[in-house]
Every structure is written in C-alpha cells, then in structure tokens.
Amino acid sequence: MSAIFQVDRLKKSFGGLDVTRDVSLSMEKGDRIALIGPNGAGKTTFVNLVTGHLRPNSGRVLMGGEDISRFNPMKRVRAGLVRSFQVTRVFAEMTPEEHVALAILQREGKSGRMAGSYHALPEVMRETRAILETLNLVALAGIPVSEIAYGQQRLLEIALAMALRPKVLLLDEPAAGVPHSDTYLIENALKQLPDDLAVLMIEHDMDLVFRFAKRVIVLAAGEIIFDGSPRDVTQDARVREAYLGSYAHASSAA
C-alpha cells in the first residue's frame, strides 16, 4: 500500500540541543500507531514540526505523495493533516453541538455566520450529529462544556479535529489529566473512528497504548529507536533500557 503520510529525515535543534534527529516514518490508511518515549524525547516537537507550528532545520513532510513542507498550518489541515487542540477551555460556555457545528462552518469558510444559525442548515446538523455520535457525546450535545467531565472535554477536542475531515489524525496525549476511571471513555471513542483514517497517538498509559495500537514507534532523545509491533516492543533491548523497563518487569511479574 502507498503511504498517505510521510516524514523524511526531519531535523530540529533548539540552541545546541538536537530535539529531532533524522526522523523518518510513513503512515498508511487505517494505521493505528502509538508514539511513545520518555518525557523530553521530542514527541510534541514532532507534532509541531509536521503540522507546521514549528519550522524544522531540514527534512520533508508529504501528504499523499505531495510535499507540504512549505504549507502553513491551515493549508496542512486542508491537505488532511489534523491534530487535536485544547480549545474547549477557552469557550467553556459553548455546548459540544455548537463547538462542532462552528468547526464545520469554519471548514466550509462560513465562520461569519452567527453561532445559532447552523440549526437551519440540515447538512451541518447531520454532520454535527454524526461526529458527536462517533465520539459518544450525543447525550451531552446541549450542555455547556464547563459542566461536562474533563474526559469528555478531551473527547470534544477529538470531535473538533474530526470536523476538519482529517486523513491523518495526530493526538498528543488525549488521556492526559483524565482520571484513570474515565480513560475507557477515550478508549471506546477511539475504537469508533473511521477505519480508513490514519491515527497517530502520543500516550503514556501503556495499557491504553497496547489496546489501541497495531504499531508502536518509540522516540528517545529525538531519535526513533523502534518501529514495529506492540508484541515486539516489550522485547526490544534498547526500548527496555530507554523507557519500558518498569512496564516489562511489571507485566512479566504479573
């Protein structure tokens, strides 16, 4: 199969520190990839580089074979490369339905319309509903975001990313800050994402990683030290040393 998303020899340094060292990877339709690694490994920087929020020192980013390295962030979104953003805290009085409908209108270049007017647009209402369904948010559609649980606010962030019609979805720690008892909300919603969407998720919760990912990429000190199956990652000597030691111990002891 041909790659929908490719990163080719990406490099970035801050001052003298090499934060992204020659990172290359590719994703195909339907991929479910977990990007893991210690704090400071360069995971968030990687997302910022490929989405155009940071400029790399060198390297290329391609979508469907097209070089998008010179595209600004908005243009990359239009090419189908979308990350989730923490915007729900800013507009806490808006409801999930309003958030998603406005994101759709914005995508369609109709953001000048008033927030209320989307009710008269059946297409927008239908799509809003479908997205809220995918993320299990229908029951909360009309409740101000400030009144819904943090885990579900994080789901709304994924819903907003879905409103931008991604081909490749990048999630930077979607379960961060979510109480452990609520991570199943995130896990269940992720299962309902469209099959042909390619998803790369940065995540520290290894139980969630192993249930979600078909492929695991390990970043350590700015370098990919492993790219392979979840089964093999726990056996890899470099990965155990850099990151997984305690997890491998815990699971072999269990």
Ligand X SMILES: Nc1ncnc2c1ncn2[C@@H]1O[C@H](COP(=O)(O)OP(=O)(O)O)[C@@H](O)[C@H]1O
Structure tokens at 168: 């490749």
Does 34 participate in binding ligand X (rule CB under 6 A)?
no
Phi-psi region of 206 (alpha: psi -120 to 50; beta: other; left: phi over 0): alpha
Minimum CB distance to Mg ion smaller for 43 or for 99: 43
Q: How far is the CB of 212 from ligand X (least distance, A)?
A: 18
CB-nearer residue toward Mg ion: 45 or 153? 45
Contacts of 169 (CB under 8 A, 6+ apart): 82, 83, 84, 158, 161, 162, 193, 197, 198, 199, 200
Contacted by 45, from Mg ion, ligand X, none: CB < 5 to 8 Å by type: ligand X
Task: Report the distance separating Cα 233 and Cα 168, nearest Å.
Answer: 23
- If the CB atoms of residues 18 and 28 are measured against Mg ion, the closer one turns out to be 18
Pair type for strands 198-202 and 168-172: parallel
Q: How far is the CB of 15 from ligand X (least distance, A)?
A: 7
Q: Which one of 11, 28, 30, 44 is in contact with ligand X (CB under 6 A)?
A: 44
Nearest partner of 242 among 216, 224, 230, judged by Cα: 224
Closest to Mg ion by CB, 33 or 100: 33
Binding positions for ligand X, 4-23, rule CB under 6 A: 14, 19
* Length of the chain as a residue count: 254
Q: What are the residues binding Mg ion (CB under 5 A)? A: 43-44
User: Would you say 41 or 209 has its CB closer to ligand X?
Assistant: 41
Is 39 a binder of ligand X (CB under 6 A)?
yes
Which residue of 9, 24, 40, 147 would you call a contact of ligand X, by CB under 6 A? 40
14 binds, among Mg ion, ligand X, none (CB under 5 to 8 A by kind): ligand X
For the four alpha carbons of 136, 32, 48 and 241, in that order, the dihedral sign comes to: positive
* 42 is an interface residue for ligand X by CB under 6 A: yes
Smaller CB distance to ligand X: residue 39 or 252?
A: 39
State which of residues 36, 41, 131, 135 lies at the interface with ligand X (CB under 6 A).
41
179 binds, among Mg ion, ligand X, none (CB under 5 to 8 A by kind): none
Q: Which residues bind ligand X (CB under 6 A)?
A: 14, 19, 37, 39-45
